[in-house]
Amino acid sequence: MSPTPEVPANSPFTLHNIPFGVISTSSNTTPRCASAIGDHAIDLGILFQKAEPDIMLGKPAPYQDFEQVFRKQTLNAFAGLPSDLRSNVRRFILDSLLNNTVPFEAFLPLDTVRMHMPMQIGGYSDFFCSLEHCQNCSPMTGGNIPKNFYYSPSVYNGRASSVVVSPDPIRRPKGVMYDTGGKEGNPIYGASLKMDFELEMGFFVSKPVPWGQSLDIEKARDHIFGFVVLNDWSSRDLQAYEMTPLGPFHSKGFATSISPWIVTLEALEPFACEPKHNHDSTTFEHLRWHDRAKGTFDIRLTAKLIRNGITYDLVESNLRYMYWTPYQQIVHHAAGGCGLKTGDLLGTGTISGEKQGELGCLYEATRDGNSKLQFDDGSELGYLEDGDEIILEAWCGDGEGGRATIGFGHSRGKLLPSI
């Protein structure tokens, strides 16, 4: 056994967090499940090899061999377990840390591990659920806010094959666009010239929803494993060509980056809060969340740009700004009977606020590149250039009122030239 490592003051991975991810090391290249504390990963296969989970976890039925669950190369087997059983596992990990009973060999410095995709993703869907984002984008696309935005969450199916884990680099895509870069002109094929990021959260499905069935919103919590930071990279010139008649395709389907550590719903419960928007008058009953005080989460998100070794602050927003919340999103997704499987990923959509510094993408913040962001060193930003790196972060709590800070780590990606 080994004393639990001290947690640095600025660490996102505190004792209040206990996130889950998948790691490998140079000495053991096989991916396996882990948690994180401070600057260390915890190899959960080793922890549960030394434990007696049938005693520690109250002999769950059916019995689970947690050593084998956590030696798998994704978290799907764990995420698919009942929520109360996952809660017991999380409590056991926390108690082991508090009681200094984690084996020494289970602690691995984070700077020595490689992070992998935490879940096997069968399906990926991305929402369009920020009223402020919609208000800012509509004038540039030549229309008003669609009436249906106010009645149900808007969503499209993305490409699960293009989801990558931070810090994998991103390749500038090629596709068809108009030679004007906007909605009119002559179609041409080539590398996108209007590369953008989108500041989002993503959340993974835990308990499946069988095909042909819907989901009661009061049970939505049982179907969400946890959250990651998500960057839905976007090509705005390809998107302008594709939006009519069927919407985004290559402009969104080439890459989506997520942070590698999943923060559980249980860790986020102390940060439950009331959503910014109240739209009960237009909300269908199956989408009505009756406990508004706990309808979403107070999660602060930031976006930074690294260009030529210099870091620039771009955005600070909050998940509670969303018009439609994650609970409403997952219920609406299931409402058509498509079914949801363990490991499916849902993106919240761009998270924007009212102010200039709260706009969750460059398309909004620069008015489609026509009003470039100006920085103190005299540089400016319209759209992303090759070599630019985007870093997204998310945090809960400020250390006040007994709500200890937890974080999600980074979703970062560097833009590479097209090939």
pLDDT tens figures, 324-374: 999 999 999 999 999 999 999 999 999 999 998 999 999 999 999 999 999
Q: Which of 133, 250, 333, 410 is flagged as catalytic?
A: 133
Q: What is the pTM of this model?
A: 0.95
Res 231: pLDDT: 98
Rounded to whole angstroms, how far apart are CA atoms 45 and 50? 9
Residue 133 appears among annotated catalytic residues: yes
pLDDT for position 146: 87
Low-confidence ranges of the chain (pLDDT < 70): 1-2, 52-64, 141-142, 399-403
The partner residues of 390 in beta bridges, in order of sequence, read: 305, 413
pLDDT score for 145: 87
Does the domain at 20-116 match CATH 3.40.50.300? Answer given as: no
- Contact between 362 and 369 (Cβ < 8 Å): yes
Q: Report whether 195 contacts 181 (CB < 8 A).
A: no
- 395/290 Cα distance (integer angstroms): 26
- Answer for the pair 42, 107: CB distance below 8 angstroms, yes or no: yes
Which among 50, 55, 150, 146 has a CA at the least distance from the CA of 103? 50
SS3 171: strand
The strand pair at 163-165 and 389-396 is best described as unpaired
Ordered by start, the domain boundaries in the chain are 20-116, 124-416
CB neighbour class for 389 (10 Å; exposed up to 12, middle 13-18, buried from 19): middle
| Fold designation for 124-416 | Fumarylacetoacetate hydrolase; domain 2 (3.90.850)
